[in-house]
């Protein structure tokens, strides 16, 4: 194996773990109310801004040690983005629970336009950035070349794994997770059994947004720059990851994210960087044609 392949593998795993985190938001919402939350990509974008704001404000108060800054940024971003998720669901989706099938989708597109434009108007259209937080890297010699793994990338992979473990714990072991799973399986039955399904749906949006926020902080740490349009492309890619893994399935979203990230990184390393987005979107179309239920998903059953 040569150095470029390994290097792209590392890049792909980093990117893929973040795609997986965002894909969780899509897959959970789809699982519970059966709609594609188009605004989720924008939630990620908002969280990138929130992360930069938190870092700037903490820097202003003289907090510069990496663990403190990252802890503060993560807590702030996840909480505020969670509130965003809650508010979005309340405004744009909850009144449409019994509406036509197209209505929530169009409302979601509207919400996504609102968020983009709102951030653009309040923060300006220019690109924003954060300073490098974690410097240095590991160098591994492979053959005649070498592979560079920055500490940021290691941190991202570790944080993504931690986030996914925390989520798995919430879903599998807690009362809230049990309510989520019950609502996902049969909303009406869950309601009969005394679960406040409206509240559970709100929680799902908050959890999805929080995972998106974690992804937003991590991607911002890695690339350092973002703008108000950043959520669009990443949103479609994370959705691709969710479909690849089987929409509605949590492990599927994580697996799909990793596969998509690695495939994309290898494509840009070996073929062409300009067409890496085209590659991902084509992948989405191909998956939908040949395996619409994804890798870990169940085949779709149409209910009357």
Partner 1 sequence: MPVSTSSIDIKKSLIDSVMAGLIALIVFGPIVGVVLQGYDFNLQFDRVGWMVLVVMVGRFALSLFLQTSRGAVVLQSFESPAGGVGVLPPDYKSRLRWILPVLVLLAVAFPFFANKYLLTVVILGLIYVLLGLGLNIVVGLAGLLDLGFVGFYAIGAYGLAMGYEYLGLGFWSMLPLSAILAAFAGMLLGFPVLRMHGDYLAIVTLGFGEIIRLILNNWLAVTGGPNGMSAPAPTFFGLEFARRAKDGGTPFHEFFGISYDPNLKFLFTYAVLFLVVLLVLYIKHRLTRMPVGRAWEALREDEIACRAMGLNHVLVKLSAFMLGASTAGIAGVFFATYQGFVNPASFTFFESALILAIVVLGGMGSTIGVVIAAFVLTVAPELLRSFADYRVLLFGILMVVMMIWKPRGLIRINRIGIAPRKGVAP
Binders in 282-301 for partner 1, by CB under 8 A:
282, 284-285, 288-289, 292, 300
Per CB under 8 A, contacts with partner 1 among 5-44 are 34-36, 38
- As a whole number of angstroms, the distance between CA 230 and CA 302 comes to 35
| Nearer Cβ to partner 1 (221/284) | 284
SS3 6: helix
Can you tell me which of 112, 150, 152, 220 binds partner 1, judged by CB under 8 A?
112
Per CB under 8 A, contacts with partner 1 among 142-181 are none
- As a whole number of angstroms, the distance between CA 236 and CA 73 comes to 26
| Nearer Cβ to partner 1 (13/52) | 52
Site for partner 1 (CB under 8 A): how many residues? 75
Q: Given the structure tokens 């049990």, which residue do they identify?
A: 178
Stretch in the footprint of partner 1 (CB under 8 A) among 50-58, 137-145, 181-189, 195-203: 50-58
For 150, the token pair is: 């920055």
CA angle 166, 172, 178 (to 5 degrees): 120
The distance of closest approach from Cβ of residue 133 to partner 1 in the complex, given in angstroms and rounded to an integer, is 11
For 226, the token pair is: 């973002």
Q: Is residue 3 within 8 Å of 146, Cβ to Cβ?
A: yes
Can you tell me which of 24, 50, 217, 262 binds partner 1, judged by CB under 8 A?
50
Per CB under 8 A, contacts with partner 1 among 58-77 are 59-60, 76
The mark string for 114-143 relative to partner 1 (x by CB under 8 A, - otherwise) is xxxxxxxxxxx---xxxx------------
| Nearer Cβ to partner 1 (172/282) | 282
Angle between helices 276-290 and 230-245 (to 10 degrees): 30
Per CB under 8 A, contacts with partner 1 among 221-260 are 232-233, 236, 239-240, 243
For 228, the token pair is: 């108000």
Q: Is residue 242 within 8 Å of 252, Cβ to Cβ?
A: yes
For 229, the token pair is: 């349009």
Per CB under 8 A, contacts with partner 1 among 259-278 are 274-275, 277-278
Per CB under 8 A, contacts with partner 1 among 84-103 are 84, 86-87, 91-92, 95-96, 98-103
297 φ, ψ to 5°?
A: -85, 165
């Amino acid at each position: 194996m040569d150095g470029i392949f390994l290097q792209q593998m590392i890049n792909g795993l980093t990117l893929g773990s973040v795609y997986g985190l965002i894909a969780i938001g899509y897959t959970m919402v789809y699982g519970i109310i059966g709609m594609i939350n188009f605004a989720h990509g924008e939630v990620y974008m908002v969280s990138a801004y929130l992360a930069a704001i938190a870092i700037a404000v903490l820097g202003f108060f003289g907090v510069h040690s990496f663990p403190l800054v990252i802890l503060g940024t993560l807590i702030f971003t996840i909480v505020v983005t969670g509130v965003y998720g809650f508010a979005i669901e309340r405004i744009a989706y909850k009144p449409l629970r019994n509406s036509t099938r197209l209505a929530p989708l169009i409302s979601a597109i509207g919400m996504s336009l609102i968020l983009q434009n709102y951030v653009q108007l309040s923060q300006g259209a220019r690109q924003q950035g954060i300073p490098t937080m974690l410097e240095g890297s590991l160098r591994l010699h492979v053959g005649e070349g070498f592979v560079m793994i920055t500490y940021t990338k290691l941190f991202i992979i570790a944080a993504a794994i931690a986030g996914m473990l925390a989520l798995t714990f919430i879903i599998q072991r807690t009362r809230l997770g049990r309510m989520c799973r019950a609502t996902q399986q049969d909303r009406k039955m869950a309601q009969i059994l005394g679960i406040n399904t409206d509240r559970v749906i709100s929680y799902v949006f908050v959890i999805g947004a929080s995972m998106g926020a974690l992804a937003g902080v991590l991607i911002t740490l890695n690339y350092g720059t973002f703008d108000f349009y950043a959520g669009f492309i990443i949103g479609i890619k994370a959705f691709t990851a969710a479909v690849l893994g089987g929409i509605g399935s949590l492990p599927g979203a994580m697996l799909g994210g990793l596969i998509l990230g690695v495939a994309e990184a290898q494509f840009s390393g070996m073929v062409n960087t300009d067409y890496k987005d085209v590659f991902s979107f084509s992948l989405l179309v191909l998956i939908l044609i040949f395996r619409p239920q994804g890798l870990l998903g169940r085949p779709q059953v149409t209910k009357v």
